[in-house]
Amino acid sequence: MNNQNFSLNKSLSRFITLVKSIVTNEYFILSLILILGFTVRLYKINNPVADWHSWRQADTAAVTRNFVKTGINLFYPTYDDISSIQSGIDNPTGIRMVEFPIYNALHATLFKTIGIFNLEVWGRLLTSVIAVVTSFFLFLLVRKHYSIKVGLIAAFFYLLLPFNIYFTRVILPDPLGVLFAVSGLYFFGSNFILSGILFALALLQKPYFGFYLIPLIPEFLKKENLKRNLMFLFLAFTPFVLWRYWTGLHPEGIPFYKWAFNGDRIRFHPAFFRWIFGERIGILILGGWGLVPFVLGLIKKQKNKFNLLLNLGMLAYLVIVATANVRHDYYQILIIPAISMSLAQGSVWLWKRSKIILILAILVMFLVSWDRIKPFYQVNHPELMEVGKIVDQTLPKAAKIVIPYNGDTAFLYQTNRKGWPAVDDSIDGLIKRGATHYISLDLGSLDTVNFSKRFVTLQKTDKFIILDLQKEIIKK
């Protein structure tokens, strides 16, 4: 009996030891973080493209939808806006020369190959998966430079900051660029060819990802690595230069961009500091109290300066691309890995000194940030989908519509037609450029009143009006 008890206790001890080894294993913990990170992104995953920043999501989704309709052509992406609003040049084919459409090709392939979900859900699922993979590489990167513990906490913050939950389940290419940049940083040193290719892909999403190269400056200054570094820079920048040359051949598809740097002269004005460091980083991202571990992560003594250099790169990005960062909060998608890394380092330091303050800071950070982010998920104008569906069901597929919505393409996207999201010419000029129908939600606008007196009304309710621009009213 004693032998049996001894054997049972020994087996139980081994089982407990096994469980402990599994539970404390870094990849087990990381797996839980990744699963949780993906799960929280399923919140309102079936939202139409009508939530926060719907205009930018609509432009991205439209490129994907056209890939689905006409086939994937990476060198000739098109969207639905054929006006001159975004570039100042008439754009009759709707060519869109911004990011190299890797995201759109993946999005279209998933939708065409698997189906099941609609195009918008697939876009949000794709971005969510991209966020999870990014978090995995962020863990590897931080572990490489600091420790397993800091890496796990950085991955946790990256996936669970309310700001980043929302902005890494939208239909935008920026999170994919973050994935390429973070993984490019991780592979630098061990596989510089792969690192160079990944940075090339990041720069093809947005040139701003070049700021991620700042932590690598110490390596670039080493003479013994000159040949390797030159090869890396060649791999990273050649595709970007070629893509920019190609896009330059289609100026009608290049939106105005110079405004993004300091178009309204806001850089270093009090409003700049208020919006970037107060409203965005301070409240929207860090919920006020998150500044405690974040700042501690920056000022604590550390032999490895990687985190400081990465944050310096992000600061340079915020300062140089000043106007765009002030006007649009989605531009801060790029800085979240650096913020997550600093939060992780500060949390580890503070945990050893005051667990209560750390727990309180993180709790308040999540609550305040979520309170600010929650309205982003709201669909405030369901009439866009309602009228868009009617237009899609009633008008010919080849119809080109004038659908004034202050230049916002979100309404145009819902109709599944190419057209003008604002009246950028006389109505006769638009008709010469191919406009066939006019749709408006503003029944009292001057244009709507005047056009309805001249052209045949196809449908009218108390919410919208559809006019046939090819049929004029015959006056007796």
Question: Which two structure tokens, joined as six digits, stand for 412?
Answer: 């145009």
Q: Which band of pLDDT confidence, cut at 50, 70 and 90, is reported for residue 411?
A: very high
**Among 26, 210, 40, CA closest to 131:** 40
Cα–Cα distance measured from residue 183 to residue 342, given in angstroms and rounded to the nearest whole number: 18
Q: Parallel, antiparallel, or unpaired: how do β-strands 455-460 and 465-472 relate?
A: antiparallel
Q: For residue 289, is pLDDT > 60? A: yes
Q: Cα 263 from chain centroid?
A: 22
Q: Which band of pLDDT confidence, cut at 50, 70 and 90, is reported for residue 303?
A: confident
Q: Are 334 and 209 in contact (CB under 8 A)?
A: yes
User: Could you report the per-residue pLDDT of 170-219, keeping only the tens digit for each?
Assistant: 999 999 999 999 999 999 989 999 999 999 999 999 999 999 999 999 98
User: Could you report the per-residue pLDDT of 65-108, keeping only the tens digit for each?
Assistant: 999 999 999 999 999 999 999 999 999 999 999 999 999 999 99
Question: Which two structure tokens, joined as six digits, stand for 79?
Answer: 């969207």
Q: Which band of pLDDT confidence, cut at 50, 70 and 90, is reported for residue 1?
A: low
Q: Which band of pLDDT confidence, cut at 50, 70 and 90, is reported for residue 10?
A: low
Q: Which band of pLDDT confidence, cut at 50, 70 and 90, is reported for residue 225?
A: confident
Q: Which band of pLDDT confidence, cut at 50, 70 and 90, is reported for residue 224?
A: confident
Q: For residue 155, is pLDDT > 70? A: yes
**Which pLDDT value is given to residue 222?**
84
Q: For residue 251, is pLDDT > 60? A: yes
User: Could you report the per-residue pLDDT of 12-61, keeping only the tens digit for each?
Assistant: 566 566 556 665 688 899 999 999 999 999 999 999 999 988 989 999 99
- Find which of 84-98, 109-123, 152-166 is predicted with most confidence, using mean pLDDT: 152-166
Q: Which band of pLDDT confidence, cut at 50, 70 and 90, is reported for residue 474?
A: confident
**Which pLDDT value is given to residue 379?**
92
Question: Which two structure tokens, joined as six digits, stand for 261?
Answer: 């740097």
Cα–Cα distance measured from residue 96 to residue 469, given in angstroms and rounded to the nearest whole number: 26
Element (H, E) at 471: strand 465-472
Q: What is the DSSP string of 211-225?
A: GGGGGGHHHHT-GGG
Q: Give the whole-number percent of the chain exceeding pLDDT 70.
A: 95
Q: Cα 293 from chain centroid?
A: 25
Cα–Cα distance measured from residue 267 to residue 439, given in angstroms and rounded to the nearest whole number: 40
What are residue 47's phi and psi, to 5 degrees? Answer: -55, 140
Mean pLDDT of the chain: 93
Q: For residue 272, is pLDDT > 80? A: yes
Question: Which two structure tokens, joined as six digits, stand for 147?
Answer: 């420790």
